[in-house]
Structure formats: structure tokens, C-alpha cells
Structure 1
Amino acid sequence: MRIAIASDHAAFDLKTELAEWLMSEGHEVADLGPETADRVDYPDYGYKLAEVIAEGVAERGIALCGSGIGISIAVNRNPALRCALVSEPLSAALCREHNNANAIAMGARLTGIDMAKACVTAFLTTEFAGGRHGPRVEKLSQFPQDAG
């Protein structure tokens, strides 16, 4: 599977370790940066990750920052993306099964490497259930015409 991964400076070490692990597991990994742990702005990397997935260059994405919150918001600005903030394998599996998530976000200050690997494994191995979830997921990419 082709996986894109991006982070900010706070998650640089986690990103590097996950990218190396994913490659050792046989995945093709697009490391979108940053290349060092120097301070950067997470929205820039979240937007880049979203663009790569929306264009079909990568099938799935992993977005990382200190808490996972900021970068997940940035990724979800793209209507083609469904990025779920996860902290354990059950939420990572459910975001695929029920929401057809094409990206996950995690916080490096909150999630250790072993838990991050477990989340990524659940995310990559769980299929979308479809069925009753299909029409709901379709609505996620549409802006509601009448919020009233």
C-alpha cells in the first residue's frame, strides 16, 4: 500500500520511526516532511498530506503533531479527506469500518511508538463496511445546503 506520512516538529521523531517501520513492513511510504525537527507549522504539512491523498498519489495518510488535533483539522479542510484522530486501535479500526477514513492523526506527545504502530496496523487492515454507512460517508464530502 502507498502511504503518505507528515508531521510537524513535535512529531518528527514519531514520523521518522513510523515511516521506517512501514517500509520494513513492505509499504511504499511518501514522507512529506519535515526533514528535520526544526519548528514548522502543522497546517502546511496537513494540507500537503491531504492534497497527496486527494490526488490519488497515496491511498492512505498518517498525520502527526504534538496532540494530533491541529493537523487533523488541517487535513480535514480538504473535502476529499476523512481524517480521524485516534489514540488506540479500536478507534483506528472503527474510523475505517464506519467512516471509510483515508487518514488518521495521532499526537506524539500522547501516543507512544508501540500504540502508534497498533493504531496504524488497525487502520491499514480494516476494510470499510459499506452498507448503511455508505450514504453517511457520502454526506461527509458535501457541504450541507441548509443548515437550518
Structure 2
Amino acid sequence: MKIAIGSDHVGLVLKEPIKKWFYELGYEIIDVGTNKLERTDYPLFGKEVAKLVANKEVDLGVIFCGTGVGISLAANKIKGIRAVVCSEPYSAKLSKEHNNTNILSLGSRVIGLELAKMIINEWINANFEGGRHQKRIDMY
């Protein structure tokens, strides 16, 4: 699986250990940045990950900022993106099963590393159920 990741300076504290974990799991990673702790703007990185996902250059995207909200809003501006902010595993799983989300957004000021791994695990391993859910996705 190929995953794009990106974060602003605040999300970097989660992005870097998650990137290492992804490599350990055998995923191919495209890291669009940032790789510095200097202040930066989350829309740059949310949109960059979203473009890779929308263009099918990667299978999924995972993005990080302080709450996960701002960077997800930027990602959702790109046509074909269904980015979700999650702070617990159950919503992440259902977001994939019912909404076919293709980007997961996490907040480094909201959750820690181990919870982030649990959320990501549930999300990546869930499958879109289609059926009645597809009809709803087709509405937007």
C-alpha cells in the first residue's frame, strides 16, 4: 500500500513516528512535509496530500495538525477527497465503511502516538461497504 502523509509544524510530532511505524509495517510512503518545527501553514500540506490521493498516485492519505480540523478542511477542498478527523478508532472504522474516506486527519494536541496507531489501524483495515452508502456518496 502506498500512503501520502503531511503535516504542519504542530502535527510533525505525530507524523514522524507514524512515518517510521508505516515503514516498519511495509507501507510505501510519500512524505510531502513539513519536516521542520518552524511555523508553517497547514493548507499547503493538506492540499498536497489530497492531490496525490485524488490523482490516484497513492492509495490513502494521513495528515496531521494540532486538532486535525484545519488540515482536513484544506484537503476536503480537492474534488474526490473525503477526509475525516478522528480522535478514536470506532469513528475511523465507520468513516471508511460508510463514507469511503480516503484521508485520515489526526490532531497532535488531541491524541497521543499509541491512540493514533489504533485509529489508523482500524481505518486502514476497514473496507467500504458500498450499497446504500454509495448512493449517499454519489450525492456530493
What is the TM-score normalised by the length of structure 1? 0.93
Question: Number of residues paired by the alignment?
Answer: 140
1:13, distance to aligned residue in structure 2 (A): 1.6
2:66 corresponds to which letter in structure 1?
Answer: G
Find the aligned partners of 1:38 and 1:21 in 2 and give their Cα distance.
Answer: 24
Find the aligned partners of 2:76 and 2:121 in 1 and give their Cα distance.
Answer: 21
Q: Tell whether 2:131 aligns with 1:131.
A: yes
1:68, distance to aligned residue in structure 2 (A): 0.6
Report what 1:7 is aligned to: 7
Report what 1:51 is aligned to: 51
Rg larger in 1 or in 2?
Answer: 1
Deviations 1:10-63 (A, max 9, x none): 011210000110110011111110121111100011110110111111110011
Q: Tell whether 2:66 aligns with 1:70.
A: no
1:78 corresponds to which letter in structure 2?
Answer: I
Find the aligned partners of 1:31 and 1:139 in 2 and give their Cα distance.
Answer: 32
Find the aligned partners of 2:60 and 2:138 in 1 and give their Cα distance.
Answer: 18
1:22 corresponds to which letter in structure 2?
Answer: F
Gap runs ≥5 in structure 1: 141-148
2:50 is paired with a residue whose SS is helix
Deviations 1:66-122 (A, max 9, x none): 011100100000121000110011011000000000001110000100000001101
Find the aligned partners of 1:89 and 1:47 in 2 and give their Cα distance.
Answer: 24
1:132 corresponds to which letter in structure 2?
Answer: R
Give the percent of matched residue pairs that are identical in Structure 1 and Structure 2: 38
Report what 1:108 is aligned to: 108
1:104 is paired with a residue whose SS is strand
Gap runs ≥5 in structure 2: none
What is the TM-score normalised by the length of structure 2? 0.98
2:61 is paired with a residue whose SS is strand
